[in-house]
């Protein structure tokens, strides 16, 4: 759900006396199963305290973002935008490494131990270099989240060229393929 949808939903259920907890997660199915996904929680303090044990049972990585539903979703969009930028950058860097004849696996090994390292770059590029192209995330999610992040930035009067480029790459990839591999 986008941040504006979360806000509208929270306002609507509040009319019935129900309080919303905006708590998107990051980390994927494996981290969800073992309780290590990141939860970005936005809700009233009293609601957070009343549900603290439930929230703690979901994850040991809880980030208390704010009291305003929608801010959790905003934080997740920003996180996913950076993940998308890092993924596009890692793929571009390894494609560039091949041009002058460098070994992409060795180049990635250097990157992983140097200033260019990113979790998503390592995770996705290691598997791609090994020929493992099995989908683990949907391209539709990367396209949606980067697009929503760009829209959020534009509404706030912020223009980030990397965000727009990453969003364009995922939109093009979605048009070119089945949208399942990520």
Catalytic residue among 10, 70, 76, 169: 76
Cβ proximity of 151 and 160 under 8 Å: no
Q: Cβ neighbours of residue 26 under 8 Å, at least 6 residues apart?
A: 37, 38, 40, 76, 79, 80
40, 43, 45, 47: CA torsion to nearest 10: -110
Beta-carbon-side half-sphere exposure of residue 122 (alpha carbons within 13 Å): 11
Q: What gap in Å lies between CA 20 and CA 50, rounded to an integer? A: 12
Indicate if 144 belongs to the active site: no
Decide: residue 123, CB within 10 A, 0-12 exposed, 13-18 middle, 19+ buried: middle
Check: CB of residue 35 under 8 Å from CB of residue 27. no
Give catalytic residues, as residue numbers. Answer: 76
């Amino acid at each position: 759900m986008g941040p504006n949808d979360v806000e509208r939903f929270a306002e609507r259920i509040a009319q019935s006396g129900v309080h919303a907890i905006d708590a998107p997660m990051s980390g994927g199915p494996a981290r969800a199963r073992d309780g290590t996904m990141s939860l970005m929680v936005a809700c009233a303090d009293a609601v957070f305290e009343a549900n603290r044990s439930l929230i703690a049972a979901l994850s040991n990585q809880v980030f208390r973002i704010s009291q305003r539903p929608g801010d959790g979703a905003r934080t997740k969009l920003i996180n996913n935008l950076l993940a998308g930028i890092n993924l596009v950058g890692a793929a571009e860097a390894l494609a560039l490494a091949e041009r002058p004849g460098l070994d992409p696996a060795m180049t990635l090994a250097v990157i992983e131990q140097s200033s260019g390292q990113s979790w998503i770059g390592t995770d996705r590029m290691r598997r791609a270099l090994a020929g493992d192209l099995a989908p683990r995330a949907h391209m539709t999610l990367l396209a949606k989240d980067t697009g929503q992040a760009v829209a959020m930035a534009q509404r706030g009067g912020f223009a980030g060229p990397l965000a727009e480029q990453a969003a364009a790459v995922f939109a093009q990839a979605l048009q070119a393929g089945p949208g399942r591999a990520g």
